[in-house]
Amino acid sequence: MKLDLLAFAAHPDDIELTCGGSIIKMASKGYQIGIIDLTRGELGTRGDAKIRQEESSKAAKIMGVTLRENLGFSDGNIEINQENRLKVIRLIRQYRPSLIFLPYWQGRHFDHIHCSQLVSQSAFYAGLAKIETGQEAYRPLRLIYYMCRQEFRPSFIVDISHYFADKMKAIKAYKSQFGNSEAVKAVPTALSIPSFLRGIEIRARYYGSLIGIDYGEPFYVKEALKIEDPLEFFKGIDPLRAVNTLED
């Protein structure tokens, strides 16, 4: 199966929290989207591997993705070694995505950092024919980094204004993490307090404001982006909104 985009995450719910609106938007346009969760999130304060698997399946249906798989790596111990690289290389060669989404390489949570390092290395090595997996060598067009906790100056921002409500539905599919049940209230964490989800909305509103829309999701690419015709590229901008993005 050929995918247009393959998104990698350290844990179930990472994609929903960080770039879920963009995933939903692209899936609604008919693109073939896949999600690979490296771990089952079993170290989370609430829930277990089985519950989080069920929740991630529900969220995947809400997002409309083509497939979602879990590599079953140990939560809290995503090792960057040849065995794990080969597992990711096989997936990249199998699905041949044009783009890969992965977490920004700096952050507070080391699983996110190690996920970024592992996937970026694997994407490069997937293009080397002498690394044998019984598959044709393949390298995606671009690696696109999504924002976790660590902020960066975005290379671009995706307008998710029409998809933000569905993004929040996908997040709330993880009832063990973000629900309002007595079980969640009994063991409060940073994820379960009401201000956490408000923070997701505030961030989306902030990045949306930078491009003159209601909600946005920021992304970063390391390479310079090629634009053939700057006039054609920018002429679709609403002049009234464009003024709000310029400095006085």
Three-class HEC string of 146-164 = ECCCCCCCCCEEEECHHHH
Mean pLDDT over 214-235 rounds to 92
CATH code of domain 5-224: 3.40.50.10320
| CB atoms near residue 62 (< 10 Å) | 18
Using CA atoms, how far apart are residues 229 and 127, in angstroms rounded to an integer?
Answer: 30
Identify the three-state secondary structure at position 70. Answer: strand
Tokens of 185: 């209230």
Determine which of 14-23, 26-35, 94-103, 236-245 has the lowest per-residue pLDDT on average. Answer: 236-245
* Cα 77 versus chain centre, distance: 20
Using CA atoms, how far apart are residues 58 and 50, in angstroms rounded to an integer?
Answer: 13
Using CA atoms, how far apart are residues 190 and 159, in angstroms rounded to an integer?
Answer: 27
List pLDDT tens digits, range 21-76. 999 999 999 999 999 999 998 887 677 889 899 999 999 999 999 999 999 999 99
Using CA atoms, how far apart are residues 244 and 214, in angstroms rounded to an integer?
Answer: 13
pLDDT band at 185 (very low <50, low <70, confident <90, very high): low
Mean pLDDT over 149-166 rounds to 96
Helix ranges restricted to H, the chain: 14-28, 49-63, 82-95, 110-125, 164-172, 175-178, 182-186, 194-210, 230-234, 239-244
